[in-house]
Amino acid sequence: PLAEDPIFWIYYPDFREKLARFETFNPLNDALRMSWDDLFKSRFFSSYIVKASNALDQDIIDYTGDQMDALYESEAIKEQIFNFEHDLWEF
């Protein structure tokens, strides 16, 4: 899946108002009614990072060379971002 090319990108904050107007269906819980905006805010989706800032402006797959290594690198970047955001706050 990491070798797939995106057809287009949508800037979420600009599209959020439209997403809030349409309802989505959860096949695991038909009593739960939510909009597409609710789905994204609740993070009911899976994702992976395909690119991070780097000097050569490369996608992860370009510098790992292997789809599985790219997926591992994606997860490592996701963890770095999580730790960075977590360390911003003091409890």
Is residue 41 located within the same domain as residue 56? no
Structural domain that includes position 74: 48-91
1 within some domain: no
Give me the pLDDT at residue 7, please. 79
More confident position, 65 or 1: 65
Mean pLDDT along residues 19-40: 89
Per-residue pLDDT of 30-61, as tens digits, reads: 888 899 999 999 888 888 888 888 888 899 99
Is residue 70 located within the same domain as residue 85? yes
- Is the model's pTM score more than 0.85? no
Do residues 28 and 37 lie in contact, with contact meaning Cβ atoms separated by under 8 Å? no
Tell me the DSSP string of 29-56: -TT--EEHHHHHHTT-S-----B---TT
Does residue 1 have a pLDDT over 90? no
Domain count, the chain: 2
